[in-house]
Copies of this chain bind each other. A is one copy, B any other.
Amino acid sequence: MEGEKTMRKESRIVVAVDESEESMHALSWCLSNFTAKNDNSTNTTLVLLYVKPPPPVYSSFDAAGYLFSTDVIGAMEEYGKELVHSVMERAEAVYRNSVTDVNIEKKVGSGDAKDVICHTVEKLGADTLVMGSHGYGFFKRTLLGSVSDYCAKNVKCPVVIVKHPKQN
């Protein structure tokens, strides 16, 4: 059995997840189409990648001239952590319900989503990148669709762009 295991082809699929339902649908699609049909000849690892926005550089005053208190900054950072936790929990619910035998790894990056996704895909030597088609993140911190556009152009491996069925 050990011998068999070493013969298995390694496959690493990065799934970019965020707060959107679309990215959860992309994960679900990936589980159904890539891994459910796993015939034991491939050892598939799904890397769930969530990218937090970079730590903000707070100016002492906001646009209206109010000073941010450390309480507010602390609360925002706490909210960011909760967001990561919440996204990963939702992702877990998606893959727990699937019938696939697949390894799951979770990664949290920080920075510009499109750069972090491309960099991670390259660093891991991923075989496929799966992502939703729309803006990345609750705060719509990038223009609609621009992250998936950018990644499709810049990563070297095949990219799967999945749309939410509600948009159909």
Contacts and interface: CB of A to CB of B under 8 A. Distances in A.
A114 interface: no
Contacts of A133: 152-153
Contacts of A168: 156
Interface stretch (A52-60, A82-90, A157-165): A157-165
Interface residues of A, number: 25
Given A33-B34, A128-B33, A152 B156 contact: no
A167 interface: yes
Contacts of A162: 158
A164 to B, nearest CB: 10
Interface string A21-38: 000000001000110111
A130 to B, nearest CB: 9
A80 interface: no
A163 B167 contact: no
30 contacts: A29-B158, A33-B34, A33-B128, A36-B39, A37-B37, A37-B38, A37-B39, A37-B42, A39-B39, A133-B152, A133-B153, A145-B153, A148-B152, A149-B149, A149-B152, A152-B152, A152-B161, A156-B163, A156-B167, A156-B168, A157-B163, A158-B160, A158-B161, A158-B162, A158-B163, A159-B160, A159-B161, A160-B160, A160-B161, A161-B161
